[in-house]
Structure 1
Amino acid sequence: MTDDAIRTHALTKRFRTGQVAVDGIDLAVPRGAVYGFLGPNGSGKTTTIRMLLGLVAPTSGRVELLGEPVPQRAAHVLPRVGALVEGPAFQPYLSGRANLARLDAVDASTDPRTARTRAEAALERVGLTAAADKRYRQYSLGMKQRLGLAAALLRPRDLLVLDEPTNGLDPQGTREVRHLVRELADAGTTVLVSSHLLAEIEQVCTHVGIMGRGHLLLQGPRTELTARRAARIAVRTPAASADAAVAELRRLALDDVTADRAVADGTVTVWAAVRDDTGPAPQDVTAALVRADVPVVGLDVRRPSLEDVFVELTGEGFDVAR
């Protein structure tokens, strides 16, 4: 059995218009991981997810979920997979509770005697207990998104696939979703979270795959991907001391030393790249600058982020529309 909960080989989707939405990607989502599937809107994330779940037939390539080929073994494996894709759809004139009851009733693998217990537990888990009897048509966008999450959690899942799960949620709701994802992962569920909000997913994912224009640009453990770039030290000093600061940082053998223009308060930020395993510690940099009579107004260490990695790969900001 493969160690990956999701594996694809050369997965491709070409539409009749000739557009290639997904171009030969090889996803590898380890079991037990929280895999952040990231990329700008239109980069191919949702099309990929729809192929993973058997909702769209690929033009070519293979898909395996939990060690089973899809769509060949979809009926066998999909009951172990929970999903929220492109926003949930429910009966508008039924309550949230009644909608969950209808979904639960069509699952032949569950015990009907415990249906109400499952629905109540799912509603509580996503914070919808107070609105359970409210009609779906009266739900806000965030409440609809929560109900979609509840539907995905009606029964224990080995794999959970969430497409833009924080869409429409306020900051509190977004934090709750992050907490829920961590809780599920701690319990052994593999979670694939697709999003264009990179900063949100970066806080919870253990592994990352970044899409761009239908291509999988890179994937792997999050810490390894961010380690591709060096951390940067930012030293703020009076403009008159900028040259001395640059000289001292270069004497310390730091790389890529540059100085910004002076700002309104008369200070300049001098930047330098440093590797954690070889460069001096920040306190040593501060001490060296003070010994060189360079006034230090402030010093900060900027760790590389996933967005930095994305910009390095594509040369574009993360929120560029495609």
Structure 2
Amino acid sequence: MRRTLEDKIVDGVNYTLLAIIFVITFYPFYYLIIISFNEGLDASLGGIYFWPREFSLVNYTTILSDPKWIMAFFVSVARTLVGTLLGVLFTCMVAYGLANKNLLFQKVYYPIFIVGMYVSGGLIPFYVVLRHLHLLNTFWVYVIPSMLNLFLLLIAISFFREIPSELEESARIDGANDLKIFYSIILPISKPILATMSLFIGVGQWNSWLDSAYYVQNENLRTLTYRMIELINTSSVPTDLQGPAVELATQAAQATPFSLEITAMVIAIVPILCVYPFLQKYFVKGATIGAVKG
């Protein structure tokens, strides 16, 4: 089709608006990156907008040379991988069972899950439950309580209900049981919902820090985001008080608490940004499942 003048004007306005939105959303993160690669003392003078004025890796070497940050990074990676794997698997298993039209008392379970989504027992009762389960101050306190995501459970139920029942019936004729059908047939054709759940659960695991603050006392089990929050909080106190930010800053004359804060943010954000492009194709399809059919 031949494009008219009105089409060109509309396209021009759209591209202009998209460019403005892109700059507004991308530049803050870009600014964090250039500050993290700039000398801390020089960055404190201001006037840096598009590229580092005094390029330096001192902020990264200062943080990454600290054993506490190295351990926190591995704890965050471990909890993200294990928590995402078990969370997706367990949530899918429950959703697959609830999606079965022959499930007894099926209508009873939904109100329970809806109430569980919006009503919480509170921090103290949850702490008591974790204590009786002997999960406090262990790695599994990051994983077990979050294995069932109620919001993603409802989306997964809608997805599994759209799968033709003929697939299960043919598998049962061949002698497959429920577990065989679930692992060999249902999961392989559920990549969109699996990718969506993996992204949501993985980001939640990576960014979580309250559980590390409330339920863990072992410094070797602290997460990367907890270290980042600790660094930000301690850098806001008077400099005559000692803290992780002050200690890190004194290790390198060219680093400041502010530049270390920015660097910690970049380190915490980059891994998630690197994973998202690989899941985007499935995420877009999986995220619309609940809107099409609830």
Provide TM-score, normalisation by structure 1. Answer: 0.23
Q: Which has the higher contact order (CA 8 A, sep 6+)?
A: 2
TM-score (norm 2): 0.24
